[in-house]
Chain A
C-alpha cells in the first residue's frame, strides 16, 4: 500500500495503517535521531516520541507530499529537544556516556563493532564530536541519503544553503580528523587538530 493511502487511513482512525507507516520509516528515523543523540537508547525514545507527534500533526500534512522528509524533520527536532533536556544534563554532569574517548576504553559500542577499520571508527567519532548543525547536515546527506531538497526540508533551511552548510561541515570535520593514514595517528594525534590547525580553509 502506498504511503498516501496509509496516511489517509491512519487519519481516519485506522491504527494498523499507522503501525505500518511507523514500521516503514522507523529505521531511517532512528538513524536520524541517532545522529543527534549519539546514543541508541535515547534515539529509540526520540523515535517513539516523534511518531506520536507525527500522528498528532497528521491533520496538517499535505496530502501527496513526501512523507520521509516531513517525518525526519519531526524526528530531528525531537532529538534536538531531547538533547537539551535536563535529564541529559544530569547524565553529563555525572560524566556518563558523553566523553567519547571514555566510552571507547570501556567497550566498543554496537556502532563501533559494525565498522571495519580504525579509519571508520575515527571518522565516526569525529562526526559525533561535531556541533549539532554540522552533524545533522552530514547525517542527512551522507548517512540518510537525502537529496538536497529533502535535506532542506528536514533542516528547515533554504535549499540554497544546504550546499554551503554541507561544505562547512565537511571542512570542520576534516579539521578534527587524524591524518589520512591512521595507523600512526592512533596513539599520537587522536582528537587533536594536527598540522592543519593553522590553516583556514
Chain B
C-alpha cells in the first residue's frame, strides 16, 4: 500500500526551514574576538608604533623596507639572533627568519636530488603513504612521471619533492642537473603568511594559478617563509638557481622551480591535479 501523504509544497518547506533557522539561532556562538585581535597583533596590527603605518599603504611600506633591508644585509651571510629579530619585526612578522641563499655550483652526485637536501628518496607510492595529504602531480603528458621522489618532515604532514631531469621540451638542466623541481606541503601562501627576500635583481609578481593565489619569482635565488597547516612557520630555501612559481592548491603550498619562462611554468602548474 503506497503512502499517500501529501508532500509539503515548496513554500511550506521554506517555512519549515526558516523555523529551523530560528531554532539554530540559539546555537551558542563562541566569542572569538580575543583570538582574532591576538592573531592580528601578532601580525603587527594594532601595535603602538603602527601609528606610522596607515593601513592602505602597508604594502608600500613593506616594499620600501625590502629595498633598504636588501642592501643592508647583502653583506651578512648569517644572522645573529638579535639581527634576525630586528629584521623580522621590521616586516611586522615577529619570529620569522629571513635569510639569503648563497649561490654556489654544487657537485653532481647521483641521484640528482641528493645534493639538494630534499629528504629521503622513496618511490611515489611510498610517498603517498607517508604524507598526510593527497599528492598533487603535474599531468602534462610530455612531462611524464618524475625521475626521483623525496619526502621529508618537518614541515608537519611532510613535504614531497619531485625531481624531473631534462627532457625534450624542458629547458636544459641547471647546474644541479635538475630541470624541474616540484615540491608540496600543507600550508598557506596568504599575503601575510608569506614573506620573501628579494635579491637586488629579483622580481616578484602575484599571479593566479588554477584560480588560486600565487607568486612568480624571477631572478636571484631566495629563501621563503611559509605558514604551515599547524600555524607554525617553515623556512625553505629555493633549491635551484632558477625561476619559481609558488601557489596554493587544495590546502597545499606548491612550488615549481626551473629555468622556465613564466608561460611554460604556468602550463605545467595548470596541469597539476
Contact = CB atoms under 8 A, between A and B. Distances in A.
Chain A bound to chain B: yes
Contact of A13 (B5, B24, B55): B55
B30 A44 contact: yes
A142 interface: yes
B108 interface: no
Interface in A129-188: 138, 141-145, 167, 170-171, 173-174, 179-181, 184
Interface residues of A, number: 60
A160 to B, nearest CB: 18
Interface stretch (A15-23, A66-74, A97-105): A15-23
A36 to B, nearest CB: 14
Contacts of B50: 13
B80 interface: no
B251 A142 contact: no
B194 to A, nearest CB: 12
Interface string B170-213: 00000000000000001000111000000000000000000000
A56 B31 contact: no
Interface string B14-41: 1011111101111111111111110111
A196 interface: yes
B254 to A, nearest CB: 13
B132 A90 contact: yes
Contacts of B134: 86, 89
Do most interface residues of chain A lie in helix, strand or loop, or is the interface mixed? helix
Size range of the interface on B?
35 or more
Given A174-B8, A195-B3, A48 B27 contact: no
Given A34-B27, A55-B45, A170-B13, A145 B36 contact: no
Contact of B32 (A40, A51, A87, A170): A51
A62 interface: no
A5 to B, nearest CB: 15
A52 B2 contact: no
A90 B20 CA distance: 31
A6 interface: no
A195 B87 CA distance: 68
Nearest to B57: A59
A11 B53 CA distance: 10
Nearest to B249: A84
B10 interface: yes
Contacts of B252: 86
A134 B134 CA distance: 26
A30 B157 CA distance: 28
Given A11-B55, A15-B37, 20 more contacts: A12-B55, A13-B50, A13-B53, A18-B37, A18-B40, A18-B46, A19-B36, A26-B29, A26-B31, A30-B30, A31-B29, A51-B32, A51-B33, A52-B40, A81-B251, A115-B23, A120-B20, A143-B20, A143-B21, A180-B6
A84 B251 contact: yes
Nearest to A60: B56
Nearest to B3: A179
Ranked nearest first, the 8 interchain pairs of A and B with the lowest CB-CB distance are A86-B133, A143-B21, A15-B46, A85-B251, A30-B29, A142-B17, A27-B29, A22-B33
A86 B18 CA distance: 33
A173 B17 CA distance: 11
A96 interface: no
Given A55-B40, A110-B27, A143 B32 contact: no
B157 A31 contact: no
Interface in B86-138: 132-134
A143 B24 contact: yes
A58 B45 CA distance: 12
